[in-house]
Amino acid sequence: MIASEVRALFAVASRPEIVSLAGGMPAVDALPMDAVAATVAEVVTLRGAVALQYGSAQGDPGLRARICDVMALEGITDAHPDHVVVTAGSQQALDLLTRVFINPGDVVLTEGPTYVTAINTFAAYQARIVHVPLDTEGLSPAGLAETLARLAAAGVQVKMLYTVPTFQNPGGVTLSAARRAEVVEICRRAGVLVVEDNPYGLLAFDGEPVRAMRADAPDDVVYLGSFSKTLAPGMRVGWALAPPAVTARLVLAAESAVLSQSMFTQLAVDRYLETQPWAQQLKGLRELYRERRDAMLDALAETMPDGASWTRPDGGFFVWLTLPDGVDTKAMLPRAIAARVAYVPGIGFYADGSGRQAMRLSYCYPPPDRVRDGVGRLARVVRAELELRDTFRT
């Protein structure tokens, strides 16, 4: 799917009569708005001359220290603020990394399926994307080794593995602990940089954060983090934690890209985390998303026809649904919209045209009853689609 198609889809999906299982928007209305309003006002009152001025391209030192504390929750205990670069969401960190490392024609490995905007970013720098298979335990180490061997035999140098190991977007699966070490080791031997994109890591439904890949591999992994899912995407505050040599190049790239990040939003996030019960609020968010996940899994089990299968996420925002043979989810989308439910067709998450039988379902934004309604509507569309298929088969 091209970007304009995705945009058109989201425009349609935002109509009130449609249950959107398409977008990945966090539930920002769960935030205590009074506390946020007080925080942003205090930042101006107390530190206006700093908050409203230019800052450094690397980001505010106080926020970078706090980000190290946040990453410690995921087992990263050796991070130093000097090696953190604050970015406009983790998307900008990915863009700057790609700018620094990728030349036209270079190969980037990603999970198949993978995050749609990462595909756009790699394509913008004319990288060649090669997918590595994903199963319910995440990225397949065997698949990774095979892919690397095949590319090496063809004389192709691989620069980077881009992975969302925890509550993957769009797969909803998590790379198992055993596989994490294996994936890092395979990449280390092949000289491939691992980029661990982890926006959902603190949204584990059992409350125990998954240990980051970066925690055990400081020299081999660039970690990308974000406050977009744990606080508010409207602030555009994310970051990269990288080995020193990479950090220096990211800072130069950031300076050339935006001169400096917004000091105002950086200080707002920093002060919010300092003064508000953020850990408690995160717990509330986990419960909210767990309830919506449960609603989706229950509704899928109740309504989907035989032959459909789906993932069971332990955190994050997404379920990956695979339909029975012979259904094309992109072709089906207009009929789903007519039935007042929206999703993103699987083909959008691959660079190679795969995914026609699958779709991403997001449970993050609609309340549980809307999630149930949406899945019910979707199931009726799928059943009608299967009847049509069977009619034409006979």
Give the binding site for a copy of itself (CB under 8 A). 3, 25-26, 28-29, 31, 33-34, 36-38, 40-45, 48-55, 88-89, 91-92, 95, 99, 117, 120-121, 123-124, 228, 232-236, 252-253, 255-265, 268
Q: Which two tokens stand for residue 95?
A: 């863009």
Minimum Å distance from CB 114 to a copy of itself?
A: 15
Q: Which residues pair with 132 in a beta bridge?
A: 111
For residues 263 and 54, the answer to whether their CB atoms sit within 8 Å is yes
Minimum Å distance from CB 77 to a copy of itself?
A: 30
- Which CB atom, from 156 or from 257, has the smaller least distance to a copy of itself? 257
Report which of 339, 323, 345 is spatially closest to residue 377, judged by C-alpha positions. 339
Distance of CA 305 to the CA centre of its chain: 29
- Which CB atom, from 33 or from 331, has the smaller least distance to a copy of itself? 33
Minimum Å distance from CB 119 to a copy of itself?
A: 10
CA distances from 310 to 164, 289, 306 (A): 18, 18, 12
Minimum Å distance from CB 55 to a copy of itself?
A: 7
Rounded CA-CA distance 51/168 in Å is 34
- Which CB atom, from 232 or from 342, has the smaller least distance to a copy of itself? 232
- State whether residue 224 is helix, strand or coil: strand
- Which CB atom, from 121 or from 166, has the smaller least distance to a copy of itself? 121
Minimum Å distance from CB 227 to a copy of itself?
A: 11
Hey, how many other C-beta atoms are within 10 angstroms of the C-beta on 352?
10
Report which of 386, 385, 381 is spatially closest to residue 19, judged by C-alpha positions. 381
Minimum Å distance from CB 61 to a copy of itself?
A: 13
- Which CB atom, from 4 or from 394, has the smaller least distance to a copy of itself? 4
Rounded CA-CA distance 293/152 in Å is 41
- Which CB atom, from 88 or from 130, has the smaller least distance to a copy of itself? 88
